[in-house]
Amino acid sequence: MIAVIDYGVGNLFSVEKALIAAGGEVSVTSDAETIKSADKLVLPGVGAFGDCMKNLENTGLTNIIKEEIQNKKPLLGICVGLQLLFEKSEESPGVKGLGIFKGSIKKIDAKCAKLPHIGWNSLNITRVKGDIDLFNGLKENSYVYFVHSYHANTSENIITATTDYGEKVTAAIARENVAATQFHPEKSGDVGLKILENFVNS
C-alpha cells in the first residue's frame, strides 16, 4: 500500500487518482500508524515552503517521515514535497526543512522569462542515483508539467533530471530509497503515468 501523506496542502485527489491509474493501492492519510505500515510513501506539496513545513509540523509527522526514510522505506516527493526534503528555502527565511538532503531551495534565475515557471518543459535526464529509477523507459527530452518559482540547489550528487528555464533548473533528485520531482507527474500525461508506474513498481 502507498500512503499519500495528507497534511492539508496539495491536490491529493489528483495524486491519488494518478497513482491508482499507475497500478498502486493508495491511502490518503495523516494517520501515523497507517504511514508506518505502508510499503511506500508519497509527500506532495503545493504553495509556499514555509506554509507547507508549518502544516507538516502541525501534524506531528515530521519525525515519523524521517524515521521511515532512515528505515529505507521508498518515498516520492512531488513539487514542494521535493523542496521540503532540503535544509531551507529562500522563499521562507528561518524555516527549517526536513534536511534529508544538504542544500537549499533557490529562486529560479529566469532572466527574461516569467515566474512562476508554469507549463510543459522537457527533461534532461541523467543517470540513476538511487534505488528508484523514475525515468526507466522514458526518452530523453520527454515533456512534463511544472508550476514553481523555486528549485533545489545542492552540492550532493543527487540530481537525476534538469530542465532549462532561464538557467539549468533541478527537475528531479534521487538517493537510495528517496526520489522526488519538482514537476507534477500527476499532471504530466502518459510520461507522468510512466514515472508513477516506475515508483509503484520499484
DSSP H stretches of helix in the chain: 12-21, 32-37, 49-59, 62-70, 80-83, 189-200
The DSSP element (H or E) to which 6 belongs, if any, is none
CB of 199 closer than 8 Å to CB of 74: yes
Catalytic choice (79, 117, 148, 197) = 79
Catalytic choice (91, 148, 184, 197) = 184
End-to-end Cα spacing for the chain = 13
Close Cβ partners of 7 (under 8 Å, ≥ 6 residues apart): 30, 52, 55, 56, 58, 59, 61
Instruction: Report the C-alpha gap between 52 and 47 in whole angstroms.
Output: 7
Q: Is 117 a catalytic residue?
A: no
Q: Is 16 a catalytic residue?
A: no
27 forms beta bridges with: 3
Q: Is 184 a catalytic residue?
A: yes
CB of 191 closer than 8 Å to CB of 200: no
Name the residues annotated as catalytic. 79, 184, 186
